Chain A
């Protein structure tokens, strides 16, 4: 399983990548949308973890672009905003939103469920503190 982490908060993604590696998940890191697209072009990822607010491009816009590259790619959104405006263009009901700061075990659980189930069923996740809207 290979995943890509996209966030302009460099230290955050670097640390997250290292911690995922310790847990046996191979994770690439991209700081900008362009970088993510570049990396996705050469590598087949299973899951993309995207920050919603990034300079230049929003997570939802990036999702569209990555989706066209890899139609089977699964997405997890991460945001510092407690609530996510679902009416924003590009978001879908079965996308997963996690709010910062989040528990790494919960992230892994989410990623595993996404890849194993093939298709994520909304509501199947056990809600945890950091999975809820703040």
Chain B
């Protein structure tokens, strides 16, 4: 169990962070910077995973805001409308009560104080909210009075409310203090006596009832409902603007009976306000009903929800990032291991291909050695025969000739083994100065006999003087062995193989190996540098030769290209830097 969890954890541990660089191995990796790959993987995955969530959240927030706004507007409007109806109804009810009283009793009865006191008592029982009741004649004399203030005989002629109430059938005053020192509202109805002169039935309403009605519509701490007159003086106390009779800057001039909703700020807080004049023909109040709602308070619910939502969002985003990080680590680890295994295999393959090309040479070399050995064998055998078959004549000259021929053959063998050793030794050597012409003729020497047998015309043209290359000799040697072996396999008897070296500029050389062989079909041209691509199906072909040649040329900082026409021939062009860059195993 412990072992399993350890290996499980290991697959999520960024193994590539501890990547050790190895000059021989690095060039075989497909990806060089695994950390960058890892970061990019996390970044791109996170971006794709989180951006839709982020976008959706943003849209969601906006939707909430708009819907909450419109909901608030609607609710404010409803509240304003309801409060307005209540105030209107309150006034209308009392005006109607006064009208009813006059119609029912007539002037004479009303002018009687005792009767008026009874009527007041009944009205108070029926409607409430009335403080006192009085009857005034057209000159402002108080004819009768019922109520607690003993205002009998007072003259109101010069009071503005009296002047105004004479002009209209129904009259409602602003809130004022008057003689009694208590805020009150006067409502009055005007009637004509039999002689044609007007008389007025007046009642005072205590503002307490009015305030109760308004405050019954007040919901929560964030709402404020009050009345204000056209001069901006508060008619009822306001939470935000002050107590009754405080002067505000709320001046409304439109006079509209319609409810108007506005979004503004009050003391820096966003608010929604609604107002409406309470003024109809029959109920001509001087009041403007105003409702103010603080947005923040109203949105408290939404705010709480958004905070909760943000917590959930934050948690899921963190979880996503953790999962993405683990997944990326896991994937990049897998990729890194596969790449590492591939690089190691490629390196091994390059080494085995190197051995294979040496083996190929060795086969040729064996042939070259076996021929002189056969000469030695037969010559020495004949010399032995001369002793065995006693009757045969033998003389010293003849023997000297045979011994020379044996020595000659031994010399031939020696030359070949020296060549081979010299050549094989090159495989170990790293960067050194190389004479390209010498290297080419060395490689060709192993194909000398084959060229002779198959009448292949090999020409090498290297201009004089030609710069010494400073490069990895073993790699260059293998490139040449691979390409020349390849050319020999491709050509028919009597073909040509041209090897041309030029120096296009001071820093580079160009080597062209051109054969008049079978050529490469166009569909194969793109694939020849791929590993394991081989057309030698029935023969020994690993399909690695050209692939490794391509990678070797790259490692020497050079380039390789191929032109081929099927049936006409193939030419490989290699450009190499004269001097390889330090650590140029890119």
Contact = CB atoms under 8 A, between A and B. Distances in A.
B392 interface: yes
Nearest to B388: A22
A20 to B, nearest CB: 10
B453 A53 contact: yes
B366 A82 contact: yes
Given A19-B381, A19-B385, A22-B392, A99 B453 contact: no
B32 interface: no
B385 A100 contact: no
Interface residues of A, number: 25
B382 interface: yes
B378 A104 contact: yes
Interface in A10-66: 11-12, 15-16, 18-19, 22, 53-56, 58
A9 interface: yes
Interface in B351-395: 363, 366-371, 373-379, 381-382, 385, 389, 392
A102 B453 contact: no
A22 B385 contact: yes
B538 interface: yes
A101 B374 contact: yes
A102 B363 CA distance: 18
A100 B363 CA distance: 13
B371 A80 contact: yes
Contacts of B367: 53, 79-81
A15 B370 contact: no
B455 interface: yes
A60 B329 CA distance: 63
A92 interface: no
Nearest to A85: B539
Contact of A15 (B368, B369, B375, B453): B375
Given A19-B382, A134-B366, A102 B455 contact: no
Nearest to B377: A101
A126 interface: no
A116 interface: no
- What interface size band does chain B fall in? 20 to 34
Contacts of A80: 366-371, 374
A104 B380 CA distance: 12
B452 A12 contact: no
Interface in B444-479: 449-450, 452-453, 455
Given A15-B381, A19-B382, A81-B363, A101 B373 contact: yes
A15 B455 CA distance: 27
B155 interface: no
B573 interface: no
A87 interface: yes
A12 B450 CA distance: 19
Contact of A12 (B369, B378, B538): B378
Interface in B477-518: none
Contacts of A56: 453, 455
Contacts of B392: 22
Given A12-B374, A19-B381, A100-B374, 8 more contacts: A11-B375, A12-B371, A53-B367, A56-B455, A80-B374, A81-B363, A100-B371, A102-B374
10 A-B pairs with the lowest CB-CB distances in the bound complex, closest first: A80-B370, A15-B378, A101-B377, A100-B374, A80-B367, A101-B374, A100-B370, A101-B373, A12-B375, A53-B453
28 contacts: A9-B375, A11-B375, A11-B379, A11-B409, A12-B371, A12-B375, A15-B375, A15-B381, A16-B378, A18-B385, A19-B378, A19-B381, A22-B382, A22-B392, A53-B367, A55-B453, A79-B367, A80-B368, A80-B369, A81-B363, A81-B367, A82-B363, A87-B538, A100-B374, A101-B373, A101-B378, A104-B381, A134-B366
